[in-house]
């Protein structure tokens, strides 16, 4: 994977940061992208210090013009693009569907689903030139439901379907497209939960613990690599058995 170039959205923390780090460790030049400029720049600088190549570009994935700029600036700086990991996302509010805020529903869909489409829309023409892979971050909630999360569940189901369709369209154009469905992963997003809530999440995973960001990153990097050369249109769960129940 050396001398390849990747874009990772939502890379200022959590899964995105772990994925960017793993890619750099495999010799990939990574464009660290996030709406959070301060922490995004810190991640890029941290990866650079470890003899890797990383560069920060700010992007709000809910804005098509930002997604276009992200790709154009990547090409301007590095001349090519091989991999894209569309990871940026938010959780949204916790409400019954009949009480869910319309504005919040639109916001979650804009970032978690439309943002993946906008990203691929501008990434694909460049990746086709060299061949490569796209990995879209879905969730266990891309295949099952959960109460009080109408927008998030709808968006992640949409990501899985969008990924499959795009994979079929580009299978003979040298671009593989897959999605990943993590269970509950130990990131900053769970810091807002109290100990009892975290314990309930742990119990929901037959393996008996929450996932680690690095475990998701390992799968994502494998999907980008030539070791996964016959893998496209798939939805890979990394969930400690959550959806097997």
> What residues act catalytically?
152
Structural domain harbouring 176: 5-184+212-238
- Over range 104-112, report the average pLDDT: 98
| Residue 64 domain-assigned (yes or no) | yes
**So what's the pLDDT on residue 188?**
79
Q: Could you give phi then psi for residue 22, rounded to 5 degrees? A: -65, -40
Percent over 90 (pLDDT), the chain? 93
Number of domains in the chain: 1
Has residue 243 been placed in a domain? Answer: no
- Contacting residues for 162 by C-beta, under 8 A, at least 6 apart: 113, 116, 117, 120, 136
In a domain, residue 195? The reply is: no
Residue 205 has pLDDT above 80, yes or no: yes
Kindly report the CATH number assigned to the domain that includes residue 76. 3.40.50.720
Cα(178)–Cα(108) distance, rounded to whole angstroms? 21
Please give the residue that has the higher pLDDT: either 7 or 191. 7
What does the mean pLDDT of the chain come to? 96
pLDDT tier, 50 (very low <50, low <70, confident <90, very high otherwise): low
Which is nearest to 114 in space by CA: 70, 154, 167?
154
Question: 118 is written with which tokens?
Answer: 């906008």
**Angle, vertex CA 187, rays to CA 181 and CA 192, nearest 5:** 115
Q: Which pair of structure tokens corresponds to residue 181? A: 């469905």
pLDDT greater than 90 at residue 13? yes
* Within-domain flag for 245: no
Residue 51's pLDDT is 65
Contact 205, 182 (CB under 8 A): no
Quick one: pLDDT at residue 77? Answer: 95
CB atoms within 10 A of CB 229: 9
Residues 133-170 pLDDT 10s: 999 999 999 999 999 999 999 999 999 999 999 999 99
* 120 located within any domain: yes
Report pLDDT digits (tens) over 182-201.
999 998 778 778 889 889 99
Task: Give domain status of residue 196, yes or no.
Answer: no
SS3 of the chain: helix, strand, coil, percent, to 5:
50, 15, 30
List all residues 6 or more positions away from 160 whose beta carbon is below 8 Å from its beta carbon: 138, 142, 143, 179, 181, 235
Using a pLDDT cut of 70, give the percent of the chain over it.
99
**pLDDT (0 to 100) of residue 80:** 97
Mean pLDDT computed over 99-105:
97
Contact 85, 6 (CB under 8 A): yes
Average pLDDT over residues 121-133: 98
* Residue 187 confidence (pLDDT): 87
Please report whether residue 203 resides in a domain.
no
| Cβ atoms of residues 152 and 92 within 8 Å | yes
């Amino acid at each position: 994977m050396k001398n390849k170039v990747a874009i990772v959205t939502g890379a200022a923390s959590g899964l995105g940061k772990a994925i960017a780090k793993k890619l750099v460790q495999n010799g990939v030049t990574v464009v660290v992208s996030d709406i959070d400029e301060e922490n995004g720049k810190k991640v890029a600088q941290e990866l650079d210090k470890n003899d890797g190549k990383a560069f920060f570009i700010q992007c709000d994935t809910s804005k098509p013009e930002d997604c276009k700029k992200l790709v154009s600036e990547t090409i301007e700086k590095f001349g090519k693009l091989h991999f894209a990991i569309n990871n940026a996302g938010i959780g949204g509010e916790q409400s019954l569907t009949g009480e869910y805020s319309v504005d919040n529903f639109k916001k979650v869909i804009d970032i978690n689903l439309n943002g993946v489409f906008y990203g691929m829309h501008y990434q694909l023409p460049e990746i086709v030139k060299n061949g490569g892979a796209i990995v879209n971050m879905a969730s266990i909630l891309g295949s099952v439901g959960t109460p009080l999360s109408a927008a998030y569940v709808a968006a992640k189901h949409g990501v899985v379907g969008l990924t499959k369709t795009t994979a079929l369209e580009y299978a003979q154009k040298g671009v593989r497209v897959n999605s990943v469905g993590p269970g509950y992963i130990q990131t900053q997003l769970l810091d807002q939960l109290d100990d009892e809530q975290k314990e309930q999440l742990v119990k929901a995973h037959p393996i008996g613990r929450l996932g680690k960001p690095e475990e998701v990153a390992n799968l994502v990097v494998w999907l980008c690599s030539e070791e996964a050369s016959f893998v496209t249109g798939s939805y890979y769960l990394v969930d400690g058995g959550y959806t097997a129940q």
